[in-house]
Amino acid sequence: MIQPRSIGAGRKGGPPIAYVNARLLDPASAMDSLGGVIVADGVIADIGPQLARAAALGARGIEAVDCQCACLAPGLVDMRVQLREPGEEHKETMASAGAAAAAGGITTMICLPNTRPVLDDAALVESVMRRARETACVHIRPYAAVTKGLAGREMTEMGLLAEAGAVGFTDATHAVADSVVMRRALAYSKAFNRPIIQHPEEPSLAQGGVMNEGEIAMRLGLTGIPIVAEVIMVERDLRLVELTGGRCHIAHLSTAAAVDAVRRAKARGINVTADTAPQYFALNELAVGDYRTFAKVSPPLRSEEDRQAVVDGLKDGTIDAIASDHAPHDQDSKRLPFAQAAFGMIGLETLLAVTLELVHNRRLSLMQAVAKLTSGPAAILGLPAGTLAKNAAADLVLFDPERPWRIAEKKFRSKSKNSPFDGRPVQGRALKTLVDGAVVFTLEE
């Protein structure tokens, strides 16, 4: 059940409340122990193993909630979300995306600037932040565009955009293809301590492509997007980071070659970070099946070898974060022949469960998986989130990593339903989500 953000003990101005008998998971401090958290005035007032039981709290007049050994972790930080508001509210709104995020244990979302109008002006960034505070039950922070209108030519006023609240700069689903523009962007952004987030796809090589280039694309008669389109862009940007001393973040890595390029760059001390999305470690190009448009994403689903390489990159730390890459579309955009259908899938409500598959398959530890969803993205963007530290905002998720359920698109809170994971059995689910101490979601039995 989604609840208004103003409801709940422990919120700002409300009485304190303790969440006890919980497995505390905090990658930022390497905490993994049975304990509890006291939430008061919207922040974490106390935390630790001394709060594992409710008995001692009664004398202090603090209400206690027994978590029954479920995991209590920082709220998830999703660093790549397309909100569609303003401009395409029929696909998604801040309110609907916020409800979906809360149901998935996400307490902070970073939205891409490819709205209508594009977030390339300080007033628009401020407007989005104000609208988010008014309508969404979770935190929403915006990226701003690198170039005006996402056209790839004229740079935006990065200083003004950073002052307005932009946490980074990206041209969203478009690569900054012009090397001179990218060089300048990396150099300028350094002054504002904001990363440039790149969609790693060389556009001339990817032009006209609709799925991964290879045998399956040939059999289906579809134009492919070659692996080299990703790795060429990644290698170029790594060289430009080395040249400028700027900071680049590579979004949704999908190929073995690109993962290896980032791994080697990190070994050389280059200031680069990277993320991927669940579809790139949980699915491969076979999911396209018989022209299944819900599996049409950008970058495309790749080979099984590439999928395994992405998992290896998560395991060894080459890939720092996992983002939902939430891209909602209406049926008119997806119920089309494969070549004409829009790229993208939704992912807010499935982010946690699909990521936990890596834990159940013994590819990541639970602490590693939680780090990719919390402290990892928070550190990349310099956000005061993703931690259970005392006096930090009480943005929390209580989840059961073993709870079985089946993903069902008809139950999604998102306005759009375009998920290739529909019908997939998974383990792990958010039971309760708190934002600034207020309970914004409770799972209904």
Show the DSSP H helices in 346-433 as ranges. Answer: 351-360, 366-373, 375-381
What is the total residue count of the chain? 445
Is pLDDT at 62 greater than 90 in this prediction? no
Classify the C-alpha dihedral 261-383-86-104 as positive or negative: positive
Per-residue pLDDT, 7: 44
Region 413-423 average pLDDT: 97
**CA 293 – CA 287 distance, rounded (Å):** 10
User: Which two tokens mark 383?
Assistant: 């956000």
- Of residues 108, 207, 170, the one with CA closest to residue 440: 108
**CA 201 – CA 234 distance, rounded (Å):** 8
Per-residue pLDDT, 380: 98
Q: Are 104 and 350 in contact (CB under 8 A)?
A: yes
Per-residue pLDDT, 50: 83
Phi, psi of 280 (to 5 degrees): -85, -15
pTM of the model: 0.96
Query: Is pLDDT larger for residue 61 or for residue 261?
Result: 261
User: Which two tokens mark 382?
Assistant: 């310099």
- Of residues 333, 375, 369, 339, the one with CA closest to residue 354: 369
**CA 57 – CA 59 distance, rounded (Å):** 5
Q: Are 49 and 32 in contact (CB under 8 A)?
A: no
Active site residue ranges:
325
Q: At what angle do helices 179-192 and 227-244 cross, to 10 degrees?
A: 50
**For residue range 252-301, what is the model confidence (pLDDT) as tens digits?**
999 999 999 999 999 999 999 999 999 999 999 999 999 999 999 999 99
**CA 309 – CA 24 distance, rounded (Å):** 30
User: Which two tokens mark 419?
Assistant: 């998920």
Per-residue pLDDT, 15: 85
* Domain boundaries, given as residue ranges, for the chain: 75-381
**CA 139 – CA 74 distance, rounded (Å):** 13
Q: What is the DSSP code (8-state) at residue 174? A: S
User: Which two tokens mark 391?
Assistant: 């006096």
**CA 419 – CA 80 distance, rounded (Å):** 16
Amino acid letter, 41: D
User: Which two tokens mark 184?
Assistant: 């300048």
Average predicted confidence (pLDDT) for the chain? 95
Region 166-181 average pLDDT: 98
Strand-pair category, 425-435 with 438-442: antiparallel
**For residue range 119-130, what is the model confidence (pLDDT) as tens digits?**
999 999 999 999
Per-residue pLDDT, 142: 98
> Of the CATH numbers 3.40.50.280, 3.20.20.140, 3.30.390.30, 3.20.20.70, which one belongs to the domain with range 75-381?
3.20.20.140
**CA 208 – CA 220 distance, rounded (Å):** 15
Q: Are 35 and 48 in contact (CB under 8 A)?
A: yes
Amino acid letter, 356: L
**For residue range 313-357, what is the model confidence (pLDDT) as tens digits?**
999 999 999 999 999 999 999 999 999 999 999 999 999 999 999
